Amino acid sequence: MLKNHKFMLNVIWLILLFTVPLPLIITLSNGLNILYADYKLGINLGLFAYVWMLVAIFLASRPKWLDKIIGLPDMYIIHGVTSVLALILMWLHDNLLSSAGIIETTGEFSLYLATVIICYSIVFMASWFTNKIPFLAQTKKFLEKTFKHELSIWIHRLNLLVVIVAYIHIILISYIREITPFFILVTAYTIISLGTYFIYLLNKNKSINIGKISNIKILGTIIHLEITSSKHSLSKIKAGDFIFISLPQYKDLKEQHPFSIVNNPAIDGK
């Protein structure tokens, strides 16, 4: 079972990092004017970075079919690592190519904003990474008094602005925009990624099941909640699952937080 999981995880990595960008790379390469052949490496690095940012946004929508294949924790790791790799390629792209005017402005804006957001997210939202580095863990603990989880989520969502500005940056480049198959494809990629995320935001509260906290236990650094809800809701949850819980009556807990299930709710009734 574990071997099958690792195999599927590696397949997903391969598809997301290399297979998904290929149609764009091929259409761009086929249509690029020979006068700009020397720019190809820098352009391709920027294109890989852009697609990987789209992939990260798509993963943020928590696609259920992917959750069933590799699980939510691995999906979060892929989301984070893909974003970091995209940022590295963005900096390489910026150093290999030069531009001016609005093209330069949009490119620099998306680059610097992405740098701030991803560095912030590494500290405040990537616990699987932060907890392994004492300095980052201590920094996070100190700053969390001001930068609450809800604020971190909204800062993280500025990645949507990074992608929108990066898309404008791409289509402003005339010799890129004139490659019609590429223009259609990059627009479709962008619409699918952003559209999927916006649909997720619109629908995430529609399937909410209301429960009541019957007991709270503090076990060291772990908060143990006992929640009662309808039998229909509980029957869908298994031990080991992740569920997202929000406490709308509390200002700092209106956003959903992930919790793991340690029992069998269908049997225990909570």
The answer on 80 and 19 residing in a single domain is: yes
- The first and second tokens of residue 25, run together, are 């790379």
Task: Give alpha helix (H) positions in 157-234.
Answer: 159-172, 174-177, 180-203, 231-234
Domain count, the chain: 2
pLDDT at 244: 66
pLDDT in tens, 38-56: 999 999 999 999 999 999 9
Structural domain including 243 reads 212-268
The answer on 226 and 95 residing in a single domain is: no
The answer on 122 and 6 residing in a single domain is: yes
pLDDT in tens, 168-204: 999 999 999 999 999 999 999 999 999 999 998 888 7
The answer on 143 and 83 residing in a single domain is: yes
AA letter at 218:
I
The answer on 223 and 193 residing in a single domain is: no
Boundary of a domain, candidates 203, 227, 245:
203
C-alpha 36/C-alpha 32 separation (Å) is: 7
**Contact 246/190 with Cβ under 8 angstroms?**
no
pLDDT in tens, 193-249: 999 999 988 887 665 666 677 777 777 766 676 777 666 665 666 666 666 666 666
pLDDT in tens, 48-84: 999 999 999 999 888 888 877 777 778 888 888 899 9
C-alpha 245/C-alpha 255 separation (Å) is: 8
pTM above 0.85, yes or no: no
The answer on 137 and 44 residing in a single domain is: yes
Residue 237, SS3 per DSSP: coil
C-alpha 129/C-alpha 70 separation (Å) is: 19
